[in-house]
Structure 1
């Protein structure tokens, strides 16, 4: 591609969605069955599809999923960037950069103040302000390591495939992690239940209340846990007893769990195979709007100035005066003066660093120690008190 004037960035019209799907299938090397296509088409109302056109031909594309994610127990609008792909003959021409810049603007206009994506390469998206913000603990247990715990007073019932009961359990659990999706009915139907195939079982306590579930598949003597969600220890014991009763069919069990999962500690032999793997990257799209919605710690009043560097979203690049009241609600306004002239605790960082901090992935003191958060000790300590500790995890892929 020689002439940048030939490039047009615009929404992909309905009649070209099939072509966009074929580009994704080619780029990510998967077969697109008719069933796959039907489920993907059902999700289109919850997406924006953007294309880069060269001489009128679709050359590259991306999708923005209209999500909500939990941050400090509150569901906030989030733009999930996915399906970033370019036909080979148009690669290395800057098309993806143009699409990303358009996506940032589109998300801002839609009120999606934060964005997640799964990167093909962390360094590439770091250039545009996204930062690594979540990990998974990949666990592998051979059959002899499966726990033989008592099943508890409740019971495990195989599910009929409906999503409503699962959603009730999932939502109570998901609110305890930064990053988890607030799943819609469409996402349950066309993504979770469609892609995480196999069996589903629900744990009901003695009172008959649903308190946990497991989605899993047994194939070639491997039990793959898609999701295991327990609202209390009793439910966890019951679900693991249920899984362990598959032992005659298995050689091993695998599970991608939150990094704070304590299963190895609970086992008689904790020497199971574990690997911590990075997953999503996050980026604050609109700094003042996100700070305005962010649930800071209650009972921790404070006021500080924050200078943000963000070359790809110029609306963020300013000095922001942030005042947090006793309820944890912030009032954010652009400071009329330069940072050094304000008689307030002063901090400065990139939008990447702020994203890692407010996602709860890294603390203010750590970021200050490694030089990514600049400011006086007093200001760093204030920010550390204002941002509540919260585990980060996301169990969905998009």
Structure 2
């Protein structure tokens, strides 16, 4: 089996596989439109000895916010295999190759939307992002309130303005994407709908809503509010459509406080497990991660297991400076652990999924220990918990 990046010569076969796997049909015009935008360097394929494509996936170069800092991220998407080639290890080999590629590219974390969580857990990915979906009857919408500033409809989307508001909002969470101009044009603005922007008293934009009304129902495609005033003003704008709509639906961050703020909080809420993440290069990721500060330099031994990325597998020293700089250093000789670092038996033991859950998924080490996902001395786990800042995960996009 050969694993390689695709070329333009593979376009037809890749499109045929995608249409079959994801059950859609492209018109000849749509196929040609895709051909013009096709980026073969983002596609990887597994091929048999006759050069026939067995399986393929996309590796998209992206950036994600984690703890208020940008990280280079490899987005896995479009994973597809012909039925006769399934259960032959095609996707396994592709994922291992993409891990190596991401490491070489400096992409220290990867994310994907799983067709099955259990399948991707086998390859080191862990569930990190869940969201809430609201469906609210019009009579239960938040009350319409007077606010300073004003909400203005935006007849033609101003990407620069919208992206500035989005970035301020997205940076408050871990897992949100950096949106490029191309992302806005080809991922966001392809949806039908209208924008409205909240401007404060100084005429500075602080929030927006992207919505569509059809058959008496409002669907909110995209929402960003960077202040409480902008949140209230945008909900007042939504409420001003009460004569036109019977209900409103939107997807929000898992920590969204809306039900608490409603007069009648008995609205339909669905918690939706959404995306998975995986630390690709633990040493590099730890060095970039904005840890919490401490009173002095501190350290813990960490026994990390990773079946598919050997550079992450082994015994390490995790060292923090007082100001929150972290270093993960491999211990080549377990007998050489000096006093103060603890013995190998005293190391906190976890797999790459658990480490990802702690650092990119907002899961507390104490919880993971309680449910048997990590083990080790209570003091070491407590130290980890003190040094990992809390930040809710969220993702408004899909790939």
TM bucket (normalised to shorter chain) is over 0.9
SS at match of 1:161: coil
Between the aligned partners of 2:251 and 2:88, the Cα distance in structure 1 is 37
1:9 corresponding residue in structure 2: 3
Residue 109 of structure 1 and its aligned partner are, at CA, apart by: 0.9
Tell me the TM-score normalised to structure 1 length. 0.93
| Equivalent-residue separation in structure 2 for 1:316 and 1:40 (angstroms) | 38
Please say if residues 294 and 387 of structure 2, whose CA atoms lie closer than 8 Å, have aligned partners that are also in contact: no
Structure 1 CA distance, aligned partners of 2:373 and 2:192?
42
1:355 has 2:356 as partner = yes
Superposed CA deviations along residues 124-160 of structure 1, whole A, max 9, x for unmatched, are: 0011110111100111101111123214121112221
Change (3 A) 1:32 1:218: farther
Supply the distance in 2 between the matched residues of 1:335 and 1:78 (Cα, whole angstroms).
27
How many residue pairs are counted as aligned between the two chains?
390
1:96 aligns with 2:91: yes
Aligned to 2:116: 121
**Residue matched to 2:183:** 187
Computed over aligned residues only, the root mean square deviation of the Cα atoms, in angstroms, reads 1.9
Greater mean deviation of Cα atoms: 228-237 or 294-303 = 294-303
1:247-326 paired onto structure 2 within 5 Å: 247-299=242-294, 301-326=297-322
2:375 is paired with a residue of what secondary structure? strand
> Is contact 2:144–2:240 with CA below 8 Å preserved after alignment?
no
Once the two structures are TM-superposed, the CA of residue 340 in structure 1 deviates from its matched residue by 9.6
| Partner SS state of residue 201, structure 1 | strand
Instruction: Provide closer, same or farther for how the CA distance between residues 178 and 37 of structure 1 changes in structure 2, counting only shifts above 3 A.
Output: farther
TM-score (norm 2): 0.93
Distance 1:181 1:339 in 2: 43
Q: What residue ranges of structure 1 are gaps of 5+ in the alignment?
A: 1-6
Question: What is the alpha-carbon distance in structure 2 between the residues aligned to residue 282 and residue 111 of structure 1?
Answer: 16
Deviation at 1:333, TM superposition (A): 1.6
Task: Kindly provide the CA deviation profile for residues 239-267 of structure 1, in whole angstroms up to 9, marking residues without a partner as x.
Answer: 11111112222121111110100111111
- Structure 1 residues 239, 85: CA separation in 2 closer, same or farther (over 3 Å shift)? same
Q: 3-state DSSP class of the match of 2:243?
A: helix
Pair 1:175-2:171 in alignment? yes
Q: Which runs of 5+ in 2 are unaligned?
A: none
Could you tell me whether the CA contact under 8 Å between 1:43 and 1:190 is conserved in 2? no
Once the 2 structures are TM-superposed, how far is the Cα of residue 103 of structure 1 from its aligned partner? 1.0
Report the equivalent of 2:379.
378
8 Å Cα contact 1:304/1:347 also seen in 2: yes
Structure 2: distance between partners of 1:240 and 1:192: 21
Displacement of 1:42 after TM fit?
Answer: 3.6
Residues 57, 151 of structure 1: alpha-carbon distance in 2 compared, 3 angstrom cutoff: farther
Runs of 4+ in 1 over 6 A off after TM superposition: none
Is residue 2:62 matched to residue 1:67? yes
Q: CA deviation at 1:37?
A: 6.6
Shift of 1:31: 3.7
Separation in structure 2 between the aligned mates of residue 36 and residue 151 of structure 1, nearest angstrom = 50
Counterpart of 2:157 (choices 153, 157, 161) is 161
Q: 1:4 maps to what in 2?
A: none
